[in-house]
Amino acid sequence: MQIKGDEMNILVEALPYLSAFKGKTVVVKYGGNAMLSDDLKNKVLQDIVFLRLAGMRPVVVHGGGPEITAMLKQAGKKSEFVSGLRVTDAETVAIAELALVGRTNTDLVRRLNILGGNAIGLNGKDGKLLEAKKHLADVYEDGQVNLVDIGFVGTVDKINTDLLNLLIQNDYIPVIAPIGLGADGETYNINADSVAGEVAGALKAEKLLMLTDVRGIYEDHHDESTFLSTLTFEKAHELIIKGSIDGGMIPKVKACITALSGGAHKTHIIDGRREHSILQEIFSDEGVGGVVIALDALFGSSGSRGAQQSGQQDQADAQQAERTAKRSIGGHKGHPSFCFMLP
């Protein structure tokens, strides 16, 4: 096969990135419509295997919302969401575990291994990978934030980074299903965006890549001219209350804050519907997303996002600290996604 001129230029353009990111950890949050199309799924997984063969250290955190919804429907249960998070009773969390661990995770591991990826499937119960506690959902009403109990929905309390580093150092691709283990052995369904942010921070990842199925954030959903390539997190909080940032985008924005505050270097929210969007973002000058450059400390002088807290008021204080974090968001002109970066 002869390499054409434009293909050769692409390889040359990628060279400095291949050098810069060799040996670096990259966390990929995989979900949304990129999981629904078989063709697009294979392209995403090809990108992940490419990262590994190029000397990077990918870690995959996956969702599985459509699979969970389909299985709940088969069981005669209706899916309900609060602030982008699924309301989860005991029956629902059992079905979610079956969908995420028994179906989605094993399928992704199988596909990655066929492509030569050396993947290994994990969930939070394996080696206490994800120790979890109950999460209270933010509900925005009349400019106020209320915390609502939505069942067996968890938040990450502790990550077994020793296990992940052991696998990474031995050339495995960890593929993580977002099921957490509670202190008393209970099972928690954890938002995959949240898990990805926590994992990226705990591993001090070079990058967190979050695949989504929306073009970006708009001041007004109905007016494409209001696409926002630059905003502060105060502005993001305002848009959440207003409803311009809503549903599944809320956990994604929070996950980026979590990753950066935990020690990740840079995060990207990219349109996973674009073919080979991961490779385009990492190995090209243009990329597919924007850039967010930190202007000051994320949490002020106290800096205690990870402090151990209990009770609704303590959780409210911790979540408010995240919401008021000060960062600037800017973008590549004309591109439809976001990237958060520590200096």
Q: For 186-197, write each residue's pLDDT tens digit.
A: 999 999 999 999
Could you say which DSSP state residue 310 is in?
A: -
Do the beta carbons of residue 61 and residue 28 sit within 8 Å?
A: yes
Sign of CA dihedral 88, 94, 96, 97: positive
pLDDT at 114: 97
The dihedrals phi and psi of 42, each to the nearest 5 degrees, come to: -65, -35
pLDDT at 86: 87
Beta carbons within 8 Å of 88's beta carbon, 6+ residues apart = 96, 150, 151, 152, 153, 189
Place of tokens 């249960």: 77
For the chain, the first-to-last Cα distance in angstroms comes to 42
pLDDT at 226: 76
pLDDT at 243: 77
Reduce the DSSP state of residue 113 to 3 states and report it. Answer: helix
Single-letter amino acid code for the residue at 187: T
Q: Which residues of 90-116 are buried (b: 16+ CB within 10 A; e: fewer)?
A: eebbebbbebbbebbbebbbebbbebe
Do the beta carbons of residue 58 and residue 51 sit within 8 Å?
A: yes
pLDDT at 295: 28
pLDDT at 13: 83
Could you say which DSSP state residue 330 is in?
A: B
Structure tokens at 27: 């966390």
**What CA–CA distance (Å, rounded) separates 71 from 271?**
26
DSSP percent split of the chain into helix, strand, coil, nearest 5? 40, 25, 35
Identify the segments of the chain with pLDDT beneath 70.
1-7, 215-217, 221, 228-234, 236, 247, 286-343
Place of tokens 């209970």: 186
Single-letter amino acid code for the residue at 80: E
Q: What is the pTM of this model?
A: 0.81
Reduce the DSSP state of residue 296 to 3 states and report it. Answer: coil
Single-letter amino acid code for the residue at 74: Q
pLDDT at 216: 62
pLDDT at 317: 42
| Packing angle, helices 65-74 and 90-97, rounded to 10 | 120
CA distances from 18 to 56, 108, 118, 204 (A): 8, 25, 20, 19
pLDDT at 232: 60
